[in-house]
Amino acid sequence: MHRSASRLTRILACAAVPVMLVVAGCSSDSGSKKESDASSSSAPGAKKSVAAVAPAKFAELPDPCKAISTKTITSLVPKAKSKAGSPATSSDTSARAGCSWNGLDDNGVKGSQYRWLDVGFTRFDSDQALGSGAKRAADDLTKQLAKTRTAEGAKKIAESPVSGIGEQATKVTYDLNKTGEDFKYATIVARTGNAVVTLTYNGAGYAGAKTPSGADILKDAEKAAKEAVAAVADANAAADDKQSSPSASPSKSSKSSN
């Protein structure tokens, strides 16, 4: 009887071994899976990369009163009060600048011709939150055109794209009666890179003088606008040349003294 009980104990012990191995194996698999899941859940989520905005093309604006040649000023405003122009007030001329000229060409009994020319520059930097300088300039161009269209008292407003001035440009013409005379207006709003150029030219005949042709006013405005747009690139080219010139870098003597 004792021998039978001892034998039974040994059989049960041997039978239990595979069961324990299986349980241990399952426990090991389960632990690996939990660790894998924990590792996956603890890994930081993949963030979408945000593309950097394109850098602004221009860092400078031209001197607004020198952006249009003296020859053109003399032609468009024959009797300008000041050929040097009157600069607009600006707290930051690298971002916003302007200049204007006006004059009355008095022809005695034949009457007088009045002319007024104004040019404004606005430059936009690229901003990760606001967009590229070029995009911000394009948005401003749209705003400037909307403002021009709503000029108080304007009549016969006409608007259309114009080629050959910057990367995009639009011309707006209209008639306006003020000081008892009929004025012809032409405004060109153009974008070059991250800068917007807004040029307005108008004229009227006084004391019986003939009202200037709208076509002539527009033609002269386009000519001046081309010069103003070109002045933006020239100003930045000059700035680049100045920075790259030998005089802009420290001299050998100054280096040795440091």
Domains and CATH numbers, the chain: 72-90+116-239 (3.40.1000)
At residue 104, φ and ψ (nearest 5 deg) are -120, 115
160 DSSP β-pair partners: 171
Dump pLDDT digits (tens) for 113-157.
999 999 999 999 999 999 999 999 999 999 999 999 999 999 999
- Residue from 231, 198, 221 nearest 119 by CA: 198
Q: Is 201 helix (H, G, I), strand (E, B) or coil?
A: strand
- List of the chain residues with pLDDT < 50: 1, 5, 8-9, 11-31, 34, 38-42, 248-249, 251-258
